[in-house]
Amino acid sequence: MTKNAVLIDSRDNVVTMTQDVPSGARVCWSGGEIDALEPVMSGHKVAIAAIAPGEIVRKYGHRIGNAAGAIEPGAWVHTHNLARSQS
Amino acid sequence: MSRFLGYLRSDGRVGVRNHVVVMSSVSCANAVVLGIGRQVPQVKTVTHTEGCGRGPTDIAISLRTLAGVASHPNVAAILIIGLGCEFIKARLVADYAANDKRIEQFEIQEVGGTPKAIARGVEIARRMLADASKIEREEFGFEHLTLAMECGGSDAMSGLTANPSVGVVADWLVGQGGTVMLSEVTEFLGTEEILATRCASGEVREQMLGLLSRHEVKVKEQLGPLADLVIAPGNQEGGLSSIQEKSLGCIQKGGTTDIQAVLEYAERPTKKGLHVMDTPGSDIFSVTGMFAAGAQMMLFTTGRGSPAGSPLGPVVKVASNTSMFQRMRDDMDFDAGRVMAGMSIAECGAELVGLVGKVADGKPTAAELNNSDLFAIHTVGEAF
């Protein structure tokens, strides 16, 4: 299937969409795929693993924030479920 | 690919272009510079708003920048034109640039006004062009190359496709023994913890963190107390969830190697490897500062589509998405948007390394073909 998401670093637990997808659509990146649990727009992130509350959300191999609650694989990850990291 | 064809200069540095430049030392001389450029279109003209009526900090920045142009490895010869009563005299720039035979200068007041100054400048410029055409390219290793990394008109894909691909080039060049410059420090905010672990020494770490905290204070003063925590609504709509995510996307352009030194605006590096320069995020100021510091080439990522180039050297435009690449084809050099369709960042970066070699050898960039010769000197204080 054509790729519609990018995994930037192998340590990441999110991928970034390069196309809009509706709920239930297949999210495909180089190295894996998963079903989107909700609609996700291009440029936005999808969890590719279960992320526990407080756990680090990782993109570019680094922390971009911590999970504000439990995030299921396939869920949209954005400001609603990502706590700002304290730096 | 381990070598490129460049021009050896008397100070041992190597150019990837062989420009003859006509430059004003003060804005009052701009009309003469542009007048010479109209009659001798083969020269690169450099005009700006500085040279007089500024405080000591700004005078120092302007002088360093103009001297950086005069001594630039891509410049075969330069004619500097002053007015005569200004603070930054043409002679001062020539002296600061460690005056060698490629630099000539005169003042408009001394030669008797604008038409006479243009006539004299045209004669000198033609002679400089004839002499420059005799210099031939020779082979050099990439340790002689300094690449500046820039982003402008970014979009949601910039940090995903173009910036990481440019980061691959940065790591490759550092591996070759070359030099990389990363700037636009306001766009690093939120990545302090990460950058602190990537400094080559404790001294560099202190400089880096000091620089970031100065920029944070400046941003707070200008934008209010929450400026370091919030990101623009447009960024959020595009999918960026935190300042860390946004800034991480920006610093991808520098690759993954350690930061060897922190540079002032337009300060020439004395080491090899990755450098961070203190510039504003505003594109043309940042581009000018890094070229004036001696970068011979620039990789410039853009999502919305920036046409910006420099009179000092080739600017390679790396498009973050294929649709803009096609829509603005005449301003773009490379399509990193292919990463969106499944091309790996490693593969995209490797292809970009190949293009860097070709451009170093002389392949013109879109901005060069469009004569997009933009130049603006950064200032920090008031004009008087």
Number of domains in chain B: 2
Residue B378 lies in a domain: no
Domain that holds residue B65: 19-132
**Which of B132, B157, B176 delimits the end of a domain?**
B132
Residues B119 and B151 grouped into a single domain: no
Rounded Cα–Cα distance for residues A65 and A77 (Å): 10
Residues B203 and B229 grouped into a single domain: yes
pLDDT tens column, A46-69: 999 999 999 999 999 999 999 999
Name the residue in chain A with its Cα closest to that of B320. Answer: A18
The verdict on a CB contact (< 8 Å) between A78 and B241 is yes
Q: How confident is the model at residue B319 (pLDDT cuts 50, 70, 90)?
A: very high
In the predicted structure, residue A73 carries a pLDDT above the cut 80: yes
Q: How confident is the model at residue B189 (pLDDT cuts 50, 70, 90)?
A: confident
Name the CA dihedral angle for B112, B118, B123, B127, rounded to a multiple of 10 degrees: 120
Average pLDDT over residues B270-292: 96
Residues B74 and B174 grouped into a single domain: no
ipTM: 0.95
Average pLDDT over residues B237-262: 93
Residues B89 and B225 grouped into a single domain: no
Residue B233 lies in a domain: yes
The verdict on a CB contact (< 8 Å) between A16 and B160 is yes
Q: List the structure tokens of B32.
A: 């003469």
Average pLDDT over residues B207-235: 78
Among B66, B147, B40, B31, residue whose Cα is nearest residue B376 = B66
Secondary structure (DSSP) of B287-332: HHHHHHTT--EEEEEESS-----BTTB-EEEEESSHHHHHHTGGG-
The verdict on a CB contact (< 8 Å) between A41 and B239 is yes
Residues contacting residue B245 through CB under 8 Å, at least 6 positions apart: A59, A60, A64, A65, B159
Residues B163 and B222 grouped into a single domain: yes
pLDDT value at residue B351: 98
Rounded Cα–Cα distance for residues B263 and A49 (Å): 41
**Which of B132, B160, B181 delimits the end of a domain?**
B132
Q: List the structure tokens of B338.
A: 């292919």
Rounded Cα–Cα distance for residues A30 and B292 (Å): 40
Residue B161 lies in a domain: yes
Residue B10 lies in a domain: no
Rounded Cα–Cα distance for residues B222 and B342 (Å): 41
Q: Which CATH architecture has domain A5-76?
A: Roll (2.30)
**Which of B76, B109, B132 delimits the end of a domain?**
B132
Q: Which of residues 20-39 of A touch B (CB under 8 A)?
A: 30
pLDDT tens column, B115-173: 999 999 999 999 999 999 999 999 999 999 999 999 998 888 999 999 999 999 999 99
Residue pairs spanning A and B at CB distance below 8 A: 73
Average pLDDT over residues B195-206: 95
Residues B214 and B312 grouped into a single domain: yes
Round the average pLDDT of chain B to a whole number and report it. 94
Residues B67 and B206 grouped into a single domain: no
Residues B352 and B226 grouped into a single domain: yes
Q: Does A11 touch chain B (CB under 8 A)?
A: no
Residue B312 lies in a domain: yes
The CATH number given to whatever domain includes residue B52 is 3.40.50.2300
> Which residues on adjacent β-strands are paired with residue B59?
none
Residue B380 lies in a domain: no
Residues B280 and B199 grouped into a single domain: yes
pLDDT value at residue B363: 98
Residues B220 and B365 grouped into a single domain: yes
* Torsion sign, CA atoms A45, A48, A54, A60: negative
Residues B168 and B55 grouped into a single domain: no
Residues contacting residue B133 through CB under 8 Å, at least 6 positions apart: none
Q: What are the residue ranges spanned by the domains of chain A?
A: 5-76
Rounded Cα–Cα distance for residues A85 and B121 (Å): 59
Q: Which of residues 51-70 of A touch B (CB under 8 A)?
A: 59-60, 62-65
Shortest Cα distance from A18 to chain B (angstroms)? 6
The closest CB to that of B241, out of A8, A17, A65, belongs to: A65
Name the residue in chain A with its Cα closest to that of B156. Answer: A43
pLDDT tens column, B46-77: 999 999 999 999 999 999 999 999 999 999 99
